[in-house]
Structure 1
């Protein structure tokens, strides 16, 4: 069966030019588009518009992809990480840097903290008057007036 292609590279179905709208033919490329758009949290109307079909047609031909909505983002991220690791294996320094940044961001999101020294609690901040009194108490230290001022 030989298919002719339209200007956008989509196959022209049999019966094109007859009355009514030609039937939609799902392709692997369109299936990938559906998964990719779902990974970016697009709704069915937006996905259907991107494929130039109606939402019922989308549900009819791409029901398996639509059921996998929850895993679409994870699948895309896994594919991207796999390609990043393959670039790291080739010695790509930029890919190594990106992987370290991803790991740091992941650690921040999950609450994993590397072995860092514990932070000490800061003393409470003083008001203007309290700070002026504290500064006046030690103003004589380290200058020629220190011998004249009584403690």
Structure 2
């Protein structure tokens, strides 16, 4: 029997929509697709919709992949660097440039993480509206007094 495909090129299962439909099983292609979509930040609901399955079925079939959601982007970047390095070793000049760009990007990300770790400011004390209004009034009064003193110094003749 010839395999039937939907509009997007996904195979349509023979028992779809009938009682006793066979259990949806994850393929290697689906697992790779889920890893990629997790790396670019898609939600579980969105990925499940793309794979034409319910959220509980998605979670059951891709439990192992979902455990690595936090590092999926790093794993993707590491794989890109690995492939670029392989091509660069073979003499591909474009791949050598790509390796340089990736290394610079990783250095910048590491510097940003280090900077973010150092810059921890103490939490500021919350100020109420009355205290804030009083502070602003005192600042305005001090500014007015300073302006009056400058005018007085300029107008005094000796």
TM-score when normalising by structure 1: 0.61
Q: Is the Cα–Cα contact under 8 Å of residues 34 and 47 in structure 1 kept in the other structure?
A: yes
| Structure 1 alignment gaps of length 5 or more | 113-151
| Structure 2 alignment gaps of length 5 or more | 113-158
Q: Is the Cα–Cα contact under 8 Å of residues 4 and 12 in structure 1 kept in the other structure?
A: no
Q: State the Cα distance separating 1:6 from its structure 2 match.
A: 2.8
| Post-superposition CA distance 1:14-53 (Å, at most 9, x none) | x456336553121111011111111111111011011011
Matched residue pairs, number? Answer: 109
Find the counterpart in structure 2 of residue 108 from structure 1.
108
Following superposition, which runs of at least 4 residues in structure 1 exceed 4 angstroms of deviation? none
Query: RMSD in angstroms over aligned alpha carbons?
Result: 2.5
TM-score when normalising by structure 2: 0.59
Matches within 5 A, 1:1-150: 5-7=3-5, 8=9, 10=11, 12=13, 15-16=15-16, 18-19=18-19, 22-111=22-111
Higher radius of gyration, 1 or 2: 1
Instruction: Tell me which protein shows more helix as a share of its residues.
Output: 2
